[in-house]
Structure formats: structure tokens, C-alpha cells
Amino acid sequence: MSEPRLPETLTAPVTPERLARMEEVARKRQFGLRVVLEDLENPRNISAICRLCDAFGIQFLHVIYRGIHPIVLDRRTSAGSHQWLTVIQHPTIDECICELKAMGFRIYATHVDPTAKEFTQVDYTQRVAIIVGNEGHGVSETARHLADERIVIPQVGFVNSLNVATATAIILAEAFRQRRAAGLYDTPELNEEERNTLIRQWLEREAAASGGHR
């Protein structure tokens, strides 16, 4: 991999070790696995899911958000992971799903329903976007209708529900298991130019977050 051209705005040197780490992470980023947040309200949940996406190599996080103010994150919960993600905002869930399907994604909507498939019984090795819904009422009827599959985490307790971030972690762990077993983390999904562009973005964001100091 050729060394990415460093942004001219950087005012402090980047160590070879730091750059090598970014190159390693970029090679494992998954274009074909995405998360869609539909109308989540709790900043801690959003922040926790940002952290999960980074941990499992997911670069693209789609957010359905109609507000006029920027989305507020809990920085302690996210541990700064949001700066490593590409967050794409959509005004409606149907627009988001249509765009993803046009790119060849299958849509899995999380939903507690007797007709839903257990989350371990679906294929995550193809292009997949996982929709998680609002903390109170879950995914919308539109999302359920447009999804290719509705998936559920089986439970045997008195309370048949999980915190949205916890549920997302369980599902992403299964997606990670399947994709790693299929070797999808061994061969970069992004080409060299795309990876270099991503690394430059990371460097710029890291510099901005640290006030230009490393």
C-alpha cells in the first residue's frame, strides 16, 4: 500500500506507528456491513453504537434524524469512536432503505415478532444493513415493510426486550463471526485510493479533536 499523502492542515508530525495502525484498521473496514439508526433518542445509546461500529470494523453508520440541531453524543460512552466513522444522515427511513438497496444491500430490521427469524439464522456475509429502532417503539412499520428480513434475538426471561445498544452488540458480534469466518476481514473491501482518502480524513479529524497537537 502506498503511503497516503498527509493533509496539509496537520501541524504536528504523525508517527510511523500511528500511520501503520490507521492503515491496518482501514484494511479491515467493512463497506458491505452497515448499521441504520432509526429515530434513536438517547445520546448514550447512539454513542455506544458508534463505539460498537468502530470495534467491529463498520465504517458507515446511517442515521434517520429529522432534527435541526446536530446529534448530541455522550463522549465518555463513545470514547471518541464517532470521529472514525462516516455518518450519513437521512430525513426518512424509506429514502435510506431505497439508497441502500440501490447499492445492493439486503435490509435486516430488528423486531420482536413471532414471524421474525432468529438473528443467527440469516446471512451477514453479503451486503447487509441492520436497522435498529427507537428505544420506546422499535423500528417503524415502514422499516418492517421494506426490510428483506425481520430478525429477533431469542430470550427466555420475564422481560422480552433488551437495551438497543446491547441488542446491537449481540447482532454485530454474530455478523463479525460470520464475516471473519468467510475471510472478509482478510481482504480489503476498500481499494487503495479509498483507504488513503479514509486515512487522511481520520488524520484531519484526530488533529482537529486534539487542537492540532499529538
Instruction: Answer for the pair 66, 38: CB distance below 8 angstroms, yes or no.
Output: no
pLDDT at 76: 52
**What are the Cα distances from residue 210, in Å, to 11, 26, 83?**
11, 21, 12
Q: Is the pLDDT score of 64 beyond 60? A: yes
Rounded CA separation 121/138 (Å): 21
Report the pLDDT averaged over residues 120-149: 97
pLDDT of residue 77: 44
Residue type, 77: T
Calculate the CA 87 to chain-centre distance. 8
Domain residue limits, the chain: 30-209
Closest among 193, 187, 182 to 29, alpha carbons compared? 187
37 is in an annotated binding site: no
pLDDT of residue 169 exceeding 60, the answer is: yes
- Please state, in angstroms and rounded to a whole number, the distance separating the CA atoms of residues 23 and 198: 9
Range with the lowest mean pLDDT among 35-39, 105-109, 189-193? 189-193
Average pLDDT, integer, range 35-64: 95
Q: What is the mean pLDDT of the chain?
A: 88
The predicted pLDDT at position 194 comes to 93
- Asked whether residue 120 is marked as a ligand-binding residue, the answer is no
The reported pLDDT for the residue numbered 72 is 53
Task: Specify whether the CB–CB gap between 19 and 196 falls below 8 A.
Answer: no
Residue type, 188: P
Burial class (CB in 10 A: 0-12, 13-18, 19+), 103: exposed
Length of the chain: 214
CB 44 within 8 A of CB 73: no
Residue 74 has pLDDT above 60, yes or no: no
Residue with cell 428480513: 149
pLDDT tier for residue 206 given thresholds of 50, 70 and 90: confident
Q: Which grid coordinates belong to 51?
A: 463505539
CA 68 to chain CA mean position, Å: 22
Distance CA 38, CA 120 (A): 22
- 73 annotated as belonging to a binding site for a ligand: no
Grid coordinates of 78: 463513545
Of 61-65, 107-111, 132-136, 203-207, the range with the highest mean pLDDT is 107-111
Note the pLDDT of residue 34. Answer: 99
* Topology given in CATH for the domain delimited by 30-209: Alpha/beta knot (3.40.1280)
